[in-house]
Structure 1
Amino acid sequence: MRSTALLIFLVVSVSRATSLTISAPVKRSTSSDVAELSETTIVLFSETQKFVESMKDNADSLLTIYLSFQGAPLSDPEYHLPEVKVDNLPTAAMDNATFLNQTDEIRLKNNLYFYSAIVQFLQVAMTEQEDLNPAEESLKAKFQEAMANINTLISKISAIMTQMGMSVTVTFPDPLVVPYEGSAIFKQKLRGGVICKEYKERVLLTKRDFEFFAKKYHEQLIQQQEQEE
Structure 2
Amino acid sequence: MRSTALLTFLVVSIATGLTMADTDEHSELSTDTIALFSETQKIAEDMQSNADSLPTTYLSFQGPPLSNADYHLPDIKIENLPTAAMDYDTFLSQTDETRLKNNLYFYSAIVEFLQIVKTEQEDLNPFALDLTAKLEEAVANSNTLISKISAIMTQMGMSVTIEFPDPLVVPFKGTAYFQKKLRGGVICKEFKERVDLTKRDFEFFAKKYEGHL
Q: TM-score, normalised by structure 1?
A: 0.81
CA RMSD of aligned residues (A): 1.5
- Following superposition, the deviation at residue 30 of structure 1 comes to 6.1
Instruction: Indicate yes or no: 2:128 matched with 1:136.
Output: yes
Instruction: Indicate yes or no: 2:150 matched with 1:153.
Output: no
- Following superposition, the deviation at residue 180 of structure 1 comes to 1.4
Matches within 5 A, 1:174-193: 174-193=166-185
- Following superposition, the deviation at residue 179 of structure 1 comes to 0.7
1:157-176 Cα shifts (integer Å, max 9, x gaps): 00100110111110000110
Amino acid corresponding to residue 33 of structure 1 in structure 2: D
Q: Which of 39, 64, 68 is the aligned partner of 2:31?
A: 39
Relative contact order (C-alpha < 8 Å, sep 6+): which is higher?
A: 2
3-state secondary structure, aligned to 1:139 = helix
- For 2:80 and 2:35, how far apart are their aligned partners in 1? 33
Instruction: Indicate yes or no: 2:194 matched with 1:202.
Output: yes
Q: Which of 67, 72, 77 is the aligned partner of 1:75?
A: 67
Matches within 5 A, 1:35-184: 35=26, 36-184=28-176
| Runs of 5+ unmatched residues, structure 1 | 1-28, 223-229
- Following superposition, the deviation at residue 209 of structure 1 comes to 0.2
- For 1:171 and 1:116, how far apart are their aligned partners in 2? 10
- Following superposition, the deviation at residue 38 of structure 1 comes to 0.7
1:84-106 Cα shifts (integer Å, max 9, x gaps): 11110000100011111100000
- For 2:23 and 2:177, how far apart are their aligned partners in 1? 50
- Following superposition, the deviation at residue 184 of structure 1 comes to 3.1
Which structure is larger by alpha-carbon Rg, 1 or 2?
1
| Runs of 5+ unmatched residues, structure 2 | 1-19
